[in-house]
Amino acid sequence: MDKAQISGILDEVGTLLELKGENPFKSRAFHNAARLLSGITEDITVLVESGDIRKIKGIGESTAKIISDLVLTGKSPDHESLKKGFPPGIFDMMKIQGMGPKKVAFLYKKMKISSVDGLEKAAKAGKLEKLEGFGKKTEENILLGIEQLRKYSSKFHINVAEQASQAIFEVVKSHTGTIRAEIAGSLRRRKETIGDIDIVVSAKPKDVKAIMKSFVDHPSVERVTGEGETKSSVVLQSGINCDLRVVDDAEFPFALNYFTGSKEHNVRIRSLARDHGWTLNEYAFTALEAGRKGPKAKKIPVCRTEADIYKAVGLSYVEPELREDTGEIEAAASGKLPNLVTYNDIRGTFHCHTNYSDGHNTLAEMAVGAQKLGWEYLGIADHSKIAAYANGLSEERVKKQHKEIDTLNDSFNDFRLFEGTEVDILTNGDLDFSDKVLSTFDYVVASVHSNFKLSEADMTKRILKALKNKHVTILGHLTGRLLLERDGYPLNQTEIINAAADLGKIIEINAHPMRLDLDWRMVRYAISKGVMIAINPDSHVVSGLTDVRYGVGIARKGWCEKKDILNTRTTKQIESYLKR
DNA sequence: GCCGTTTTCGGCCCGACTGTTTTCAGTCG
């Protein structure tokens, strides 16, 4: 049983305890353990067998036992016996907005309702409103929630959420009463998928009402789901929930920090505040009441920005992209936060197509576009011959393209086009060009574009074989596990990363903005193994060039140091790397 | 259930909003 499955079961145990009405801290301990487990990169079996699993802070006796049982036998008696109390459909019921453990457990006990369908039936028949603690409104909300769940059961890709937020955010931000405004939440943290959009605004009390009105009246709003004095919630036409929170300007950094999250990160920051003798909420630091345990409260510093808040609790400023409680607190406390990559660090990209294959722009246009972005180089990697759907290049056309690139390069002073290819990895692991042809390129990106339906073992074998070809520089768009439901493919990522480490190859992780869901654990694992990686970003946004669609570059900050990213290197360094 | 250079017991982050209630529980983030 793998890490993800075990983590899922720990989460389930936590939820089952909630349903049973157990001590909330108890259930949280299991959810916590689930999260911790999904974040580790070590081999879970090794951790269990060595007993080191107990060394992870937050994994105690009970959680360790469940993990060990699952690793060693594939089953956990504790989990099994808990499950007996509740049918599986219960978990789906918990996904409905407004349905928490108390209501779900109550309905199950009182009405024997154990599925979303059963709940819908009961609500439609008006059976719920008569129940204690329920009413007409609750019943209506449950039906709405079910509808919502079916329509938008998944999260939204960041590019969808970003687009959906733009217009309404602009209106709120440019309101005359608005002092400061920021998008918060997972969108600010640049997660690959977004649950809802959070907007935080500061304003004088007299302006709050008008700002709220501009928000709920916005044309992109489909439905208003909540409207209070400081907070309003709407569903946008795109189906994404959007919350607006308006606070006093002095409270703004606290609110921004709070609503940016993540929840786990916030919990840690609040603990640190308590260590200083304060409590922290979304408005301010407040001194703990006298007589409470803990050190004597220190004087509370004035905080005008988020950086001031971090400084107050003894941390250096933590970038939103890092706020997941995956080591950033410790790093910030000891001054060891990574020097993050930003858009400005990109010197060029390597996975770019032109109108030779399925791109839209000519070589010359691409070169001009890259220079406009201040880049030093651009790697051209059009498709190989077998990619008929993408107008892949024959050997003759490769020669023609090289000639054209050479001519263009002669005309540049501080810029260079690299001659690359994105060669197809055939089903048997061979490459679509002969070694002789491959040797004529500056670099080679090898990618899988066909026959996705292989077994994990066969796909892994296929890719490993291609990776071993001495001409291959970069393994193209290795997909994350999360893509599987769409057009990703199964493969043993660990094995491939290990091989890349041995062979000194670069891995391009992830693919395309429209099917983007980066697995950062994989990224961290690759970095831990010393594999040079290139993150394939949503480069539509980065470049403004229609054709740098597949830019191998870092388009967002992440838990990566600049030194880890190929694209931050200068042309000279790149040249020497490619010639190795 | 987990944790601990103050603790092996007693804490564990905190508030807004909703819908049901006449003071609060449940849910959410």
Q: What are phi and psi of A409, to 5 degrees?
A: -60, -35
Show the CA angle centred on residue A506, arms to residues A501 and A512, nearest 5°: 130
Instruction: Please give the Cα distance from A420 to A438 (Å, whole number).
Output: 9
- Give the tens place of pLDDT for each residue, A16-52: 998 988 888 889 899 888 888 876 767 889 889 988 8
The answer to whether residue A513 scores a pLDDT higher than 70 is: no
Give residue A237's pLDDT: 82
Q: How far is the CA of A89 from the C1' of B17 (A)?
A: 28
Minimum-distance nucleotide, CA of A274 to C1':
B13
| Full set of structural domains in chain A with CATH | 3-83 (1.10.150.110), 90-150 (1.10.150.20), 156-252 (3.30.460.10), 261-333 (3.30.210.10), 343-578 (3.20.20.140)
pLDDT band at A186 (very low <50, low <70, confident <90, very high): confident
A68 or A150, greater pLDDT = A68
pLDDT band at A85 (very low <50, low <70, confident <90, very high): confident
Q: Give me the amino acid identity at A226.
A: G
Q: How far is the CA of A231 from the C1' of B16 (A)?
A: 8
- Give the tens place of pLDDT for each residue, A230-252: 899 998 888 888 999 999 999 99
Give residue A540's pLDDT: 28
The answer to whether residue A168 scores a pLDDT higher than 90 is: yes
Give residue A505's pLDDT: 84
Instruction: Give the bases of strand B that a protein CB approaches within 7 Å.
Output: 1-4, 6-7, 11-21, 25-29
Q: What percent of chain A has pLDDT over 70?
A: 79
Q: How far is the CA of A229 from the C1' of B17 (A)?
A: 10
Minimum-distance nucleotide, CA of A263 to C1':
B29
End-to-end CA, chain A: 41
Give residue A562's pLDDT: 46
- Give the tens place of pLDDT for each residue, A92-137: 899 888 899 999 999 998 889 989 999 999 999 888 888 888 888 8
Q: Which residue is nearest to nucleotide B7 (CA to C1')?
A: A293
Minimum-distance nucleotide, CA of A22 to C1':
B1
Q: Which residue is nearest to nucleotide B18 (CA to C1')?
A: A226
Q: How far is the CA of A85 from the C1' of B26 (A)?
A: 22
Mean pLDDT of the region A382-396: 85
Q: How far is the CA of A212 from the C1' of B17 (A)?
A: 15
Q: Residue A269 to residues A261, A305, A315, A515: CA-CA distances in angstroms?
A: 10, 15, 9, 33
Instruction: Please give the Cα distance from A260 to A252 (Å, whole number).
Output: 12
Mean pLDDT of the region A383-388: 86
